Amino acid sequence: MSRLNSLRFILPAALALSFVALSQSGAQSDSAQQGASKAQNAAPVKSLSGTWALNAPRGPGQGWYNYALIGEEPPMTAWGEEKFKASKPSFGPNPHEDSNDPAYACLPNGVPRVYAGVQTAMQIVELPGRTLMFFGRNIRQIYTDGRPHPQDSRPLWMGHSTGKWDGDTFVVDTVNISDVNWLDRMGHPHSDKLHLIERFRRVDEKTVLMDMTINDPVAYTKTWEITQRTFRRRANDRAGEGICEDMFANEAFGLHPVFPSMK
């Protein structure tokens, strides 16, 4: 074959190979850019740091979300029902003007009540050996150094909490919770035997999902789950300063206690 004829075969083949190589390179580049974009939007591994606000659902039939942890009645024991009947909440289907809600006495909200509110927000700070959760001026310490719950401990508003990571889920175990407060703003009670398991999972940069199991054999006939809570990250990364007197004066949150006559 002459040199000219050889070139006729070689040049097209070389051009074809170059086109394939460029195509593959372009595809790899696009794939790398997409991967980098996803990496930028991905949540940090095993981190809940930041300020998170409750993302309450809107629409008909969702009003209970702002004063209860579940849409239906939890399975109460006779003791629990008696305590519940004695509650006089200003929220829920049977509001009272003369409410005996502990919050109206400026007692601090504990867990799990801190999650049942229209403006629930929390700031999470992770430190070696512990994770801090700030709910306004209330501080909750979750020990992550492997320590057990103490055998003898007086009840605390936030209880005694230990936490650990299980894969991508931060699991918090809490006991020794003061029974002075209610579970929610609707007046559901709990005893000093209340045991909470919370599971926090960060699904993306701006979203945390929280599930909770409630176990209180004195107040409830069986263990039950609250409705999943969704929290969205606040851009300013600052928690509000919730002071009871300011809230009643409509200065801190822009809210008054809501009594039936005000609705």
The string of pLDDT tens digits covering residues 44-62 is 668 999 999 999 888 887 8
b/e code 78-109 from CB counts within 10 Å (16+ = b)? eebeebbeebebbbbeebbeebebbbeeeebb
Q: What is the mean pLDDT of the chain?
A: 82
Lowest mean pLDDT segment, chosen from 7-11, 54-58, 73-77:
7-11
Question: Regarding predicted confidence, which is higher, 147 or 154?
Answer: 147
220 has a pLDDT exceeding 90: yes
Q: Mean pLDDT over residues 229-246, rounded?
A: 73
**For the ranges 37-46, 141-150, 218-227, which has the lowest average pLDDT?**
37-46
Instruction: Report pLDDT for 105.
Output: 82
Global pTM? 0.78
What is d(CA 54, CA 209) in angstroms, rounded to the nearest whole number? 10
The structural domains of the chain, with segments of one domain joined by +, span: 1-41, 50-262
Residue 44, CA distances (Å) to 25, 116, 131, 243, 260 in order: 30, 27, 16, 32, 45
Q: Does the pLDDT value for residue 17 go beyond 70?
A: no
Cα 81 versus chain centre, distance? 28
Is 70 exceeded by the pLDDT of residue 160? Answer: yes
pLDDT band at 121 (very low <50, low <70, confident <90, very high): confident
Position with higher pLDDT, 84 vs 249: 84
CB 98 within 8 A of CB 88: yes
Residue from 194, 197, 199 nearest 210 by CA: 199
Cis peptide before 112 (omega within 30 of 0): yes
Burial grade of 127 (CB within 10 A; 0-12, 13-18, 19 or more): exposed
Distance CA 135, CA 120 (A): 8
CA atoms within 13 A on the CB side of 29: 6
Instruction: Write the DSSP symbol of residue 31.
Output: H
Distance in angstroms (rounded) separating the CA atoms of residues 43 and 208: 10
Interval 168-191: pLDDT, tens = 999 999 999 999 999 999 999 999
What one-letter code names the amino acid at 173?
D
